Chain A
Amino acid sequence: MSYLQLATSLIFILIPLVLARTLRLGLEKDIIIATIRSIVQLLIIGYILTFVFENGSPIFMLLMILLMIGAATLNVIRKGDGIPGIQWIILFTLIAVEALTMGILLGLQIIPFEAQQVIPISGMVIGNCMILSLLFLNKFKDEVERSDEVIELILSLGGDAKTAIDTSLKGAIRTSMIPTIEAQKTMGLVQLPGMMSGLIIGGADPMEAVLYQLLILFLILTTAAMASVLVGFLSYRRLFNEKAQFIGLTYKKKDT
């Protein structure tokens, strides 16, 4: 695809802009910002990837992955507001999931140690981990705020912190994993997954595209489970003190 063809495709941005303007949705500014950001970010990443792929150095590959982990962490920590130390929990989770999945993929030689393979797959793993962490934290905080009386009730009966928060924790883990599982059930029936479509458009053999896509689906299921379980089990402890007393979500006071 040429830059001219890409410029022509901007017509697809005009349609939502016209609709937003006509219906007075107040989304025009956001649509323009989103479009500009996606163009700039993807072009920059395109140049960086070209450099990393041509250079072939593992150091650049590692830097690229660290950059993705850093960006994903920054994106998630705002959602974890109220849980002390959430930034370290998210960072640890992303590193652990990436290390484990890449360890298995490379260790068992499922994919070769090449930037063209490692970076895109890492991007999908880290991106999915980020989304699952966001989903989990959203639900978990909601559950904790809704169930604070039951949590204190169980503590008052002599239950420990884990027992007191068990229902909220598992409920949030389950809720955050369901979309991933449901999406996999209809995969290929309702839509062709993005990566597979990309490979087919790029001229790859459809069966080869399917095999890669299946690999990604399995990875996504693993990252979904690991991200929500790790973030959950590491963060619930921060809501209690060492005497099994419920502190709850502690929001920092904003300076006025």
Chain B
Amino acid sequence: MSILTFHEVSYQHILHEITGEFREGVITTLVGPSGAGKSTTLKHINGLISPDRGEICFRGEPLEQMDLLEVRKRIGMAFQSAPMIPGTVYDNINLPKSIFGESLPREEAKRLLQQVDLSVELERTVKDLSGGERSRLGIARTLVNRPDVLLLDEITASLDYRMVQEIEKLILDLQQELQTTIIWITHDLEQAKRVSDDVWFLKDGRLIESGAFKELASSDQAETQAFLKGESI
């Protein structure tokens, strides 16, 4: 069953009539060369950008008719650079609550850190964290609102191989545990192969193909085959 559908979505000169759907409770990766429109597609999903034409529906309801601020609480997003506000680990994991004048119980904060395998003190300042720790904290922060959908924007792009593997395992475990729908941008085809249930292959702002990774691998589309073989397209 699909949780999100795109119907002929176009945005400026970046996305062109994208039509497709995301299945609920699975991991879908967005792959494609630079400038394919992957990040723009992701930002459309939690309403950071709205399409110029076309419609995006969340559980059958058009996003445009929903309260976007509420939608964003239900669709969490972890950014590539894991941006942090100045302060402590707690200040950052508490951010989804503090922006509404609430506070996350410290026990809950510790539990979330445990869930992402991050063993740091809540009072530690974030500027002392390593890239991997920031990435984990970024993911833990998106879990505070218990989102229905988790959007991951190249969260392993700047990490070393060992850390990439750890984060991949973490996401796969979280997905198993929470059954959350995950939409994950990656430029690493091998990673897409390891983690994906489904794949969207984008190029020049168009959705070239979508489906299970295996289906893509056996596709007769020349562009898809060239991309999968790592040829420049």
Q: Is the CB of A167 within 8 A of B99?
A: no
Q: How many residues belonging to A are interface residues under a CB distance threshold of 8 Å?
A: 17
Residues of B within 8 A of A154 (CB): 95, 99
Residues of B within 8 A of A156 (CB): 46, 48, 72, 76-77, 79
Instruction: Say yes or no for B47: interface residue by CB 8 A criterion.
Output: yes
Chain B: minimal CB distance from A117 (Å)? 47
Q: Which of B68, B73, B79 contacts A244 (CB 8 A)?
A: B68
Instruction: Say yes or no for B156: interface residue by CB 8 A criterion.
Output: no
Given contacts A157-B96, A167-B85, contact A246 B72 (CB under 8 A): no
Given contacts A152-B48, A163-B99, A245-B49, contact A157 B85 (CB under 8 A): no
Nearest A residue to B77 via CB reads A156
Nearest B residue to A163 via CB reads B99
Given contacts A155-B48, A156-B48, A156-B77, contact A243 B68 (CB under 8 A): yes
Give the one of B46, B48, B70, B81 with max A CB within 10 A: B48
Within 8 A of B (CB), among A111-164: 149-150, 152-160, 163
| A244 to B69 CA separation, bound complex (whole angstroms) | 8
Q: Is the CB of B145 within 8 A of A153?
A: no
| A152 to B84 CA separation, bound complex (whole angstroms) | 11
Interface of B is mostly: loop
Chain A: minimal CB distance from B106 (Å)? 19
Q: Is the CB of A149 within 8 A of B47?
A: no
Q: Is the CB of A243 within 8 A of B96?
A: no
Residues of A within 8 A of B96 (CB): 157-158
Nearest B residue to A147 via CB reads B83
Given contacts A149-B79, A154-B95, contact A160 B69 (CB under 8 A): yes
Q: Could you mark each residue 161-179 of chain B with 1 if its beta carbon is under 8 Å from any beta carbon of chain A, else 0?
A: 0000000000000000000
Q: How many residues belonging to B are interface residues under a CB distance threshold of 8 Å?
A: 23
Q: Is the CB of A157 within 8 A of B48?
A: no
Instruction: Say yes or no for B10: interface residue by CB 8 A criterion.
Output: no
Chain A: minimal CB distance from B155 (Å)? 13
Q: Which of A150, A158, A163, A246 contacts B83 (CB 8 A)?
A: A150
Q: Which of B48, B81, B85, B99 contacts A246 (CB 8 A)?
A: B48
Residues of B within 8 A of A153 (CB): 79, 83, 95
Nearest A residue to B151 via CB reads A156
Q: Is the CB of B47 within 8 A of A157?
A: no
Instruction: Say yes or no for B50: interface residue by CB 8 A criterion.
Output: yes
Chain B: minimal CB distance from A210 (Å)? 42
Q: Could you mark each residue 226-256 of chain A with 1 if its beta carbon is under 8 Å from any beta carbon of chain B, else 0?
A: 0000000000000000011110000000000
Chain A: minimal CB distance from B208 (Å)? 27
Chain A: minimal CB distance from B137 (Å)? 12
Q: Is the CB of A157 within 8 A of B83?
A: no
Within 8 A of B (CB), among A154-193: 154-160, 163, 167
Residues of B within 8 A of A (CB): 46-50, 68-70, 72-73, 76-77, 79, 81, 83-85, 95-96, 99-100, 141, 145
Task: List 15 A-B residue pairs with CB atoms under 8 Å apart, sorted by A's residue number.
Answer: A149-B83, A152-B48, A154-B95, A155-B48, A155-B72, A156-B48, A156-B79, A157-B72, A157-B96, A157-B145, A244-B68, A244-B69, A245-B49, A245-B50, A245-B68
Residues of A within 8 A of B (CB): 149-150, 152-160, 163, 167, 243-246
